[in-house]
Amino acid sequence: MKFNQFQKLLTGAIERVGEAPASLAPVAPDTLPPLVLAYIGDAWFSLYVRTQLLSYEWRQVRVLHTLDATVISATMQAYALRLLEPILKSEELEIVRRGRNAKSRTPKSASVQDYHSSTGFESLLGYLFLKQEQERLEELAAAAFSVIAQEITAKMQQGGKK
């Protein structure tokens, strides 16, 4: 996308944000691009992880941030997705596939494969959140958090940093 086009879209979005709607219209997640679903899923999972971490540490923000960054990393999300895929429904696997195949820029902090897998995972969480499937969302997030925590613990016991 060219910068001028980006600026025009941004300006239009800012103007619409200023127009408060009378009520929030429900969003149909089936119609949203996978990267938009991932955007929502990323925010939701980050908040979920942060609230879970309060059970273990609530005095030191630096410790919380370090743990949070490790748990929500693309590498750990990709790891969790690999373990959770067998329990995903066909509709959920399709959302993951769409998210995994979405064209996006890959940060240097993760492999391309891990980053795309984590985008698929986040797309699924965003989809479930917007469909208001809270029970399934919580079930998958709790399972992901559990396997990630176990992996981090195992790595620390083996002498690794994360």
With H, G, I as helix, E, B as strand and everything else as coil, classify residue 54. Answer: coil
Nearest-angstrom CA–CA distance, 138 and 90: 18
Catalytic residue among 30, 42, 68, 114: 42
Provide DSSP, 93-125. Answer: HHHHHHHHHS--PPPTTS-HHHHHHHHHHHHHH
Please say whether the dihedral angle defined by the alpha carbons of residues 25, 30, 102 and 135, taken in this order, is positive or negative: positive
| 30 tagged catalytic | no
Residue with tokens 């990709």: 78
Largest CA distance in the chain: 56
Active site residues: 42
